[in-house]
Amino acid sequence: MPPKDPIVPIVEAKLEQVPALLTELGLDAWLVFVRESSVIHDPSLDLVVGTNVTWHSAFVLTAQGGRTAIVGQLDAANLRAHGHYPEVIPYTRGITEELRALLSRIDPRRVAINYSMSDPASDGLSHGMYLSLLRALEGTPYAARLESSTALVAALRGRKSALELERIRAACRATTAIFQRLTPWLRAGKSEKEVASRILDETSREAGLELAWDAEHCPSVFTGPDSAGAHAGPTDRKIEPGHLLNVDFGVRKDGYCSDLQRTWYFLRPGESKPPAEVRRGFATIAGAIRDGAKALRPGRQGVEVDGAVRGRITQDGYAEYAHGTGHQLGRAVHDGGGGLYPAWERYGDMPFLPVERGQCYTIEPRLTVAGHGIATCEEVVVVTESGGEFLSEAQEDVIAVGR
């Protein structure tokens, strides 16, 4: 028999969450409208469908627990085999007649559809598909009842089940183990590309692991004071004594991601431990992460948590970092919804969404230690009533290499 798909129980669990979320938000139905989803993939399909479709397709979920899929006849058998939608309605010539009939039957007053101005994870509806939907609903009352699914998808993605949390923990454990195996191999003279290659080799040896993001910069590797910085691929730059080395890396395991950063210091001749300025910089990073975890309580806005972490960095005399403090993590590395962001234009409304119990966030401040490079760390926490609980094994001290 083929191995059981590890995502099947996740899809069922997420589908079971939908009716209560719709009710909580005052929505009557959620319509996910897609086509050729292997080409233009709506992120919500991974949560509540579990497969791709070809023709125009509508997945309609209601506050009463209804689940209906309207799909092209060639996709119908696949949808039935997956078993998530008790009602699968096939069509041949076009979706309009069946979609109008379904909406007339359930008569929803408020219908969330798959677009968002702020959240990429909620924004799978292309402009062309939006126009197609309006044309299909022309002359009905439902065209005027459509609204963004941003809040719904943010809640659905963000509120992690126990099974989802365990999968994130497992991905974090796998990543930490790779970092631990990397440390004895590290030495001055290695290039960023060599370090990245070693990490990729370690990843390939463990069955069931994939890279969590684009292979061009997963891992990202930076050494010394003149490194390229975040979101750049590794270079031929070599590690030198006195350098800080930072690695940003994550894996996907059983459909869920990790995203961790670690920092090493390479001892210079005569040094038995990192110099005071390096230890002080990393102590600030570790303290800021602890501050962020304590502040991460349900009901607080992400911008408040960002301020607690960012404030620790600047209060200790370091320059403000030029990015958000953390993002949600789950099926994707950037899992959508609110984040631990400053009130900057580029983050839109996302900094002001409330933190919710069960959400998973990264916390990832950084600072520059003059003459040595970047000190940073990235941990993963889940929101509990009393603050953030670490799902990753936190790095408390900079790792010294070359003793």
- Given a cut of 80, whether residue 5 has pLDDT beyond it is no
**Alpha helices per DSSP H over 159-275:** 162-182, 192-204
Cis peptide before 90 (omega within 30 of 0): no
- Given a cut of 50, whether residue 1 has pLDDT beyond it is no
Tell me if 393 sits within 8 A of 335, measured CB to CB.
no
Bridge partners (DSSP) of residue 253 are 209, 256
Query: Which part of the chain is CATH 3.40.350.10?
Result: 8-157
pLDDT for the residue numbered 348? 85
Q: Minimum mean pLDDT among 4-13, 76-85, 188-197, 265-274: which range? A: 4-13
Count of CB atoms situated within 10 Å of the CB of 172 = 26
pTM of the model: 0.88
- Given a cut of 90, whether residue 132 has pLDDT beyond it is yes
Mean pLDDT of 360-371: 96
Provide the token pair at 270.
């005569």
% of the chain residues with pLDDT over 90: 90
User: What is the H or E stretch that residue 94 is in?
Assistant: none
Return d(Cα 88, Cα 340) in angstroms, integer.
Answer: 40
Mean pLDDT of 30-56: 96
- Given a cut of 50, whether residue 3 has pLDDT beyond it is no
Provide the token pair at 290.
């602890």
Mean pLDDT of 220-246: 87
Task: Please give the backbone phi and psi of residue 171, each rounded to the nearest 5 degrees, phi first.
Answer: -65, -40
Q: Minimum mean pLDDT among 9-13, 177-181, 314-318, 363-367: which range? A: 9-13
Mean pLDDT of 201-216: 93
How far does the chain reach from its first CA to its final CA, in angstroms?
51
Tell me if 353 sits within 8 A of 154, measured CB to CB.
yes
Return d(Cα 387, Cα 297) in angstroms, integer.
Answer: 5
Provide the token pair at 145.
């009842």
Tell me if 265 sits within 8 A of 401, measured CB to CB.
yes
Q: What is the pLDDT of residues 17-28, one digit of tens each?
A: 999 999 999 999
Mean pLDDT of 174-194: 97
Q: Which of 76, 100, 78 is nearest to 88 (CA)?
A: 76
Q: Which residue has the higher pLDDT, 119 or 192?
A: 192
Query: ∠ CA 246-247-250 to the nearest 5 degrees?
Result: 155
- Given a cut of 90, whether residue 403 has pLDDT beyond it is no
CATH of range 159-401; options 3.40.50.2000, 3.90.230.10, 3.30.420.40, 3.40.50.300: 3.90.230.10
Return d(Cα 88, Cα 214) in angstroms, integer.
Answer: 35
Give the model's confidence band at 2: pLDDT under 50 very low, under 70 low, under 90 confident, else very high: very low
Mean pLDDT of 211-228: 89
Amino acid letter, residue 38: S
pLDDT for the residue numbered 232? 72
Return d(Cα 56, Cα 266) in angstroms, integer.
Answer: 56
Mean pLDDT of 347-356: 91
pLDDT for the residue numbered 180? 97
- Measured over the CA atoms of residue 234, residue 329, residue 117 and residue 137, the dihedral's sign is positive
Query: Which part of the chain is CATH 3.90.230.10?
Result: 159-401
The CATH code of domain 8-157 reads 3.40.350.10
Mean pLDDT of 309-313: 97
Contacts of 326 (CB under 8 A, 6+ apart): 292, 305, 306, 309, 339, 340, 361, 362, 363, 364
Q: What is the pLDDT of residues 288-309, one digit of tens each?
A: 999 999 999 999 999 999 999 9
Mean pLDDT of 353-359: 94
